[in-house]
């Protein structure tokens, strides 16, 4: 179960329901749990925050591999400066889901 390159409110995956199998993705040859958010909850919700922290850490660790041109900026960015845009994007996606 993947996502298209451009996320819109119609295609954003929902959080799995109770008893529903958690979706996985293949990453570097291994199956791992896919990230899901509770779109009806704040970014401070325990599960949402855990997923956002994973994204932030992934940007720090592997961002230069995805975008070599950004490697210098990623190396110099402060945690708060990286968290802000990630939280902003989450909140924008929440608005898309609601509309």
pTM for this model (two decimals):
0.77
Number of Cα atoms under 13 Å in the Cβ half of residue 19: 0
Q: Sign of torsion, CA 67 44 26 95? A: negative
Cα separation, 42 vs 1, in Å, equals 24
Question: Residue 1 — pLDDT band, cuts 50, 70, 90?
Answer: very low
Give tens-digit pLDDT for 19-57.
888 888 887 788 888 888 999 999 999 999 999 998 888
Contact (Cβ atoms closer than 8 angstroms) between residue 87 and residue 43: yes
Neighbours of 94 (CB within 10 A): 20
């Amino acid at each position: 179960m993947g996502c298209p390159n451009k996320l819109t409110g119609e295609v954003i995956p929902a959080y799995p329901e109770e008893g529903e199998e958690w979706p996985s993705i293949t990453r570097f040859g291994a199956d791992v749990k896919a990230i899901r958010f509770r779109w009806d909850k704040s970014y401070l919700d325990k599960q949402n925050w855990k997923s956002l922290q994973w994204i932030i850490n992934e940007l720090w660790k592997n961002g230069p591999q995805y975008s070599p041109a950004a490697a210098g900026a990623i190396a110099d960015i402060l945690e708060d400066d990286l968290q802000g845009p990630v939280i902003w994007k989450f909140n924008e996606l929440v608005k898309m889901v609601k509309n």
